[in-house]
Amino acid sequence: MKSKKLHSKSLVVFFVLFVFFLVASVWTLFLRLEGEKPYIETGSQLLFLNESQDILFEVSDTKSGLRRIFVTLEQEGKEVTLYEKDFSGDLLTGKGNKNEISFSVIIEPETLGFTEGKAILRIVAIDYSWRGWFQGNITYDERELIIDTEPPEIDVITRAHNISYGGAGLLIYRLSEPCSISGVNIEKDFFPGYSGYYKDPDIFLSFFALDYKNKDVSNVFVQATDKAGNRTRKGFYYHIRGKTFKHDVLNISDSFLQRKMPEFESDFAFDPKASMKEKYIIVNNKLRKGSYQKISELANKTNNVLYWDGPFLRLKGSATMAGFADHRTYMYHGKIIDKQVHMGVDLASLAHASVSASNNGKVVLAKYVGIYGKTVIIDHGFGLFSMYAHLSSISVKAGQMASKGDNIGKTGMTGLAGGDHLHFSMIVNKTFVNPIEWWDAEWIKNNISSKINAVTTQGM
């Protein structure tokens, strides 16, 4: 009887051990036969290969670990191994010692014997899984690329480019192939070129500007970078006219500060102990920079349509109260408290005078902007903008089209304005330029329209 009980207990123990072994085996097989393939990432969408390209790869397998990786380039039956690496691990346990790796491969197609045209970049990653009869999970990543090692060619169509400090110009050029970016470079400023005006999509217009601050200008060229990253630079003829700018002294009164500073309380959490003078310096510096930044960001976006036609309008019956790039010294109680440069022309006539759109375009901003107060900005196409500031009221909305002469608001003294007037600015890309040029029909004819029309008459 006792032996039967022992035998029965032995069977129970055996059964429990068997079940445990069975569950453990199934669980082990489940883990070792995992079917998750390695993950491959190149960091960016790769479509082209240029003369020498450094490509970053990131490969990972979080479960069984990496076993082998190789990268090849193939073209018309010819295949070259660019990278190959085996990783340590235990195939019996189905576990690798490396779960992720980042590596770069420098590809120089011509050195490897490849020619211009299509090629296939192949990345293969294998893990330590028991799947496929211990072959592991395999990830094949094949990408069809274009080998392009030739830089684009630039044909400068316009020949004469005369420009003043603080002034603007136009360069027209043709590209030999589609490019991701092209345009005119002047010192540290870049002015994109835009196609779309001519039927030929390879012809571009680039309105450019010479910042009033630039001196001893020598770094001037047109450049283009194709989709493969090949870049070309080409110089062009230009002549710079000298320009001097006025220096003014502005006396800041206590009555002005008491009247204007409350308008900016919502823009800054001023220190309760700050004086009116200290508040003014903050507004004239920090808020001015912030306002300029907002306008610069806006001027980065433009429509490839030449909306405007002929000379730009100035405020009717107005007198010029301040000029473009006037260098201002601000005095308070006989002491210098700040220095700034005026980036527009101040025009004054009657209080709350009607302000017209200076030319045809699309309204891209119609709201309060820092030191400029109530402001309207119009995109005239191809990177050219006009700005109307310190308005007392705005009668247009962002997104609507405006024709030359349309009412867009009334003059005022919102923002950092001491009296009723219109602050008018012209902007090329992100650079403020002298509006006087754009009011001048002769200047527009000689520097802009004649160039555009000359290309048109050539049937381009």
Contact yes or no for 84/101 (Cβ under 8 A): no
Distance CA 129, CA 92 (A): 10
Contact yes or no for 435/344 (Cβ under 8 A): yes
Q: Which of 298, 260, 317 is nearest to 385 (CA)?
A: 298
Helix (H, G, I), strand (E, B) or coil at 318: coil
Q: Which CATH architecture has domain 39-147?
A: Sandwich (2.60)
CA-CA-CA-CA dihedral for 411, 417, 419, 424, to nearest 10: -40
What stretches of 233-310 show up as alpha helix (H) in DSSP?
Answer: 254-260, 276-282, 288-298
Distance CA 374, CA 393 (A): 7
**Per-residue DSSP letter, 349:** -
Tell me phi and psi for residue 51, to 5 degrees: -60, -40
Q: Which CATH architecture has domain 154-242?
A: Sandwich (2.60)
Same fold, 39-147 and 247-429: no
Distance CA 391, CA 71 (A): 62
pLDDT tens, N- to C-terminus, the chain (460 residues): 555 555 566 655 555 555 545 444 444 444 455 778 899 988 667 789 999 989 999 999 988 889 899 999 999 999 999 999 999 987 666 677 889 999 999 999 999 999 999 999 999 999 888 776 668 889 989 989 999 999 999 999 999 999 999 999 999 999 999 999 999 999 999 999 999 999 999 999 999 999 999 888 889 999 999 999 999 999 999 999 988 899 999 999 999 999 999 988 877 788 888 899 999 999 999 899 999 999 988 988 899 999 999 999 999 999 999 999 999 999 999 999 999 999 999 999 999 999 999 999 999 999 999 999 999 999 999 999 999 999 999 999 999 999 999 999 999 999 999 999 999 999 999 999 999 999 999 999 999 999 999 987 665 5
Q: Which of 3, 249, 39, 233 is nearest to 123 (CA)?
A: 39
| Angle made by CA atoms 433, 438, 443, in degrees to the nearest 5 | 110
Contact yes or no for 248/322 (Cβ under 8 A): yes
Distance CA 89, CA 127 (A): 10
Beta pairing, strands 162-164 & 239-241? parallel
CA-CA-CA-CA dihedral for 209, 215, 220, 225, to nearest 10: -70
Distance CA 326, CA 343 (A): 8
Tell me phi and psi for residue 248, to 5 degrees: -120, 155
Contact yes or no for 105/49 (Cβ under 8 A): no
Distance CA 215, CA 274 (A): 38
Contact yes or no for 385/299 (Cβ under 8 A): yes
b/e sequence 346-362, b meaning 16+ C-beta within 10 Å: bbbbeeebebbbbbbbb
| Angle made by CA atoms 94, 95, 97, in degrees to the nearest 5 | 155
Helix (H, G, I), strand (E, B) or coil at 277: helix
Question: Which residue carries 């199934």 as its tokens?
Answer: 26
| CA 261 distance to own-chain centroid | 34
Q: Does domain 247-429 have CATH number 2.60.120.620?
A: no
Q: Which residues contact 261 (CB under 8 A, 6 or more apart)?
A: 276, 279, 280, 283
What's the pLDDT at 3? 57
Which two three-digit tokens encode residue 124?
A: 């293969």
Distance CA 395, CA 380 (A): 18
Domain boundaries, the chain: 39-147, 154-242, 247-429
Which two three-digit tokens encode residue 116?
A: 């211009």
Amino acid at 123: I
Cα distances (angstroms) measured from residue 150 to each of 52, 221, 224, 226, 297: 11, 19, 12, 9, 33
Contact yes or no for 408/359 (Cβ under 8 A): no
Contact yes or no for 38/139 (Cβ under 8 A): yes
